[in-house]
Structure 1
Amino acid sequence: MAAMKVYLAGPDVFLKNGREVIAAKQELTRRYGFVPNVWMGEDDAPHSTPFAFGLHISAANEAVMRDSDFIIANLTPFRGISADVGTAYELGFMVAHGKPAFGYSNDGRLYAERLTADYYKGAVAKADDGMMRGPDGLMVENNDMGDNLMLDGGIEHMGGVFIRRSVAPEHLLDDLGPFEECLAAARARLLGVAA
């Protein structure tokens, strides 16, 4: 039986050390018995316009996802309090195609904690309707989940796990400990191989 292909989703490509992080993830993925499936053909993309370039990358990533058996998504908050929006799309794409999904975050806090502390700076209060709301009147949802309930829900419904660990702040986007935990969980659930 051929080794399972895993789509490695996340904002790693945007990091200053992105190529090194991606290479390290690919090596760990092989060590756990999976084939890393990531499109790295940026140099082959048409550069006629930035929009054409973006469409090419989008189509190429969707083709790689269709060719993958499951996904591991880096859901560490990126440029805000939630996961990278492109990664969230990719997670949803894979779940919609019925493929197992796993996720991790290098910020161990729940979404409601980040929303309250980081976005609203603690300025939330119970409103007349009994809901916790920010000063803008928007509800502060709290489902005891790591991110938006659709991300946690998709992973859970596809039999995966969402691993959350707090790492050193200076390594928030490149610490691979929680990623490796995800690989071990995927190996146990998909291949029946314990750690």
Structure 2
Amino acid sequence: MTLKLYLAGPEVFLPNARAILDAKAELTRAHGFEPICPGDILIEPAPTRHEFGLKISAVDEGMMNRADGVIANLTPFRGIAADVGTAFELGYMCAQGKLVAAYTNVSANHYARTAEFYAGDVREGADGRKRGPDGMSLEDFDMIENLMLHGGIERRGGFIAIHDAAAAERYTDLTAFKTCLSALAERAAA
């Protein structure tokens, strides 16, 4: 039986989304898996944007239900953290006990990115925790992403690949994605 992998990530928002998704699907097949990509299915129109959004959500959940695992692109998107849709998808798959792997094309960990967001203005609070100028504490667990995402993968025996892509190729560099595929293929062969 060929394992089906749901390919989660913010690539669906790229101007060349179809080309990137097709490249990821081809690599997935080359590693012996069947890809399931958001954006592969034509979704019927709906009377309102809200109803159309609900249809997309339902289709994506159905795709995840059919998948055996996920490779999630946790490269920071529109800020310091992973795309929120991808975070939901990863959590959904973890909750179902499915095979999980993730990658990021930014090597700075979650703490470093948060400290940079505060322009380095991080201080130790009275409670000993590192805090930004707004008083909010910072996670400092040497993880690539929020502890629930990174921890959810690691605690389930999943794989995380970290690569430092050039800024212009942050969402198109597939080096870490290929590393995830190789690790999952090795695991499947064992």
- Aligned-residue offset at 1:126: 1.2
How far apart, CA to CA, are the structure 2 residues paired with 1:81 and 1:168?
Answer: 16
How far apart, CA to CA, are the structure 2 residues paired with 1:5 and 1:42?
Answer: 16
Q: How high is the TM-score relative to the length of structure 1?
A: 0.94
CA contact (8 A) 2:76 2:82 kept: yes
Pick aligned residue for 2:179 from 173, 178, 181: 181
Q: Which residue of 2 aligns with 1:157?
A: 155
Which runs of 5 or more residues in structure 1 are unaligned?
none
- Aligned-residue offset at 1:10: 0.4
Aligned length: 190
- Aligned-residue offset at 1:3: 0.8
Q: Which residue of 2 aligns with 1:133?
A: 131
CA contact (8 A) 1:109 1:164 kept: no
Q: Which residue of 2 aligns with 1:94?
A: 93
How much is the aligned-residue C-alpha RMSD, in angstroms? 1.1
How far apart, CA to CA, are the structure 2 residues paired with 1:72 and 1:178?
Answer: 10
How far apart, CA to CA, are the structure 1 residues paired with 2:168 and 2:40?
Answer: 29
- Aligned-residue offset at 1:93: 0.4
Name the % identity.
Answer: 46
Q: Which residue of 2 aligns with 1:30?
A: 29
How far apart, CA to CA, are the structure 2 residues paired with 1:45 and 1:148?
Answer: 35
CA contact (8 A) 1:45 1:57 kept: no
1:12 aligns with 2:11: yes
SS in 2 for 1:89: helix
CA contact (8 A) 2:105 2:176 kept: yes
CA contact (8 A) 2:5 2:68 kept: yes
Q: Deviations over 1:76-133 (max 9, x none)?
A: 000010000000000000010110100000001110000001x101111112221111
CA distance 1:167–1:41, shift in 2 (3 Å): closer
